[in-house]
Amino acid sequence: MTREQLTEKILDIKREKGWTWAHVTEAIGGVSPVLVVGALLGQMKLVKPLAAKAAALFGLTEMEARMLNEVPYRGTAMPPTDPLIYRFYEMVMVNGPAWKALIEEEFGDGIMSAIDFDIEIAREPNPRGDRVRISMSGKFLPYRYYGNEQGIAEYGFKEA
């Protein structure tokens, strides 16, 4: 069985049972719902206790539980063809340069981690149509200036 086949099996069981992602993530628990759903869709891994809970919930084999615990090959083809996912790329393409400038002005020369990272998704009622609120928080990781001479900063934190 491939990871893609396991994902399809999980989705088939979810459909058959009429479960929502909220039901699934509450039953498995342990980490952010985004991480649980990401793992069940093949983009993240579940730690062993959570892989065992997922396997019990979905009636998976021991081998399939172990597969949920493996580090997956992450990512999708570019550009994405799904309209919702494409809009995220569009947001980055249009707003990315401004986000980069604002983050570097505040923190210095570095990146926002997508590994040491939190994300929350919520519905925000609005009389003109409900809105999607996405809150992201990633650790700032400064670039390391290797080969630096005495008196030259080693990391790209914002200079005073």
The whole-number average pLDDT for the span 66-77 is: 92
The answer to whether 66 is a known catalytic residue is no
Q: Which of 8, 70, 74, 87 is catalytic?
A: 87
Second CATH level (architecture) for the domain 83-142: 2-Layer Sandwich (3.30)
Q: What is the CATH number of domain 3-68?
A: 1.10.260.40
Domain borders along the chain are 3-68, 83-142
Across the chain, what does the average pLDDT equal?
93
The answer to whether 113 is a known catalytic residue is yes
Q: Which of 90, 120, 133, 144 is catalytic?
A: 90
pTM greater than 0.85: no
What one-character DSSP code corresponds to residue 77? -
The answer to whether 70 is a known catalytic residue is no
The pLDDT, as a whole number, for residue 139 is 95
The pLDDT, as a whole number, for residue 79 is 85
Residues of the chain with pLDDT > 90, as a percent, come to 79
Q: Which of 74, 113, 133, 154 is catalytic?
A: 113
How far, in Å, are 13, 22, 24, 133 from residue 19 at the CA level? Answer: 9, 8, 7, 23
Backbone phi, then psi, for 4, in 5-degree steps?
-65, -40
48-58 and 33-40 helices cross at what angle (nearest 10)? 70
Three-state secondary structure call for residue 112 = strand
pLDDT in tens, 13-65: 999 999 999 999 999 999 999 999 999 999 999 999 999 999 999 999 999 99
The pLDDT, as a whole number, for residue 31 is 93
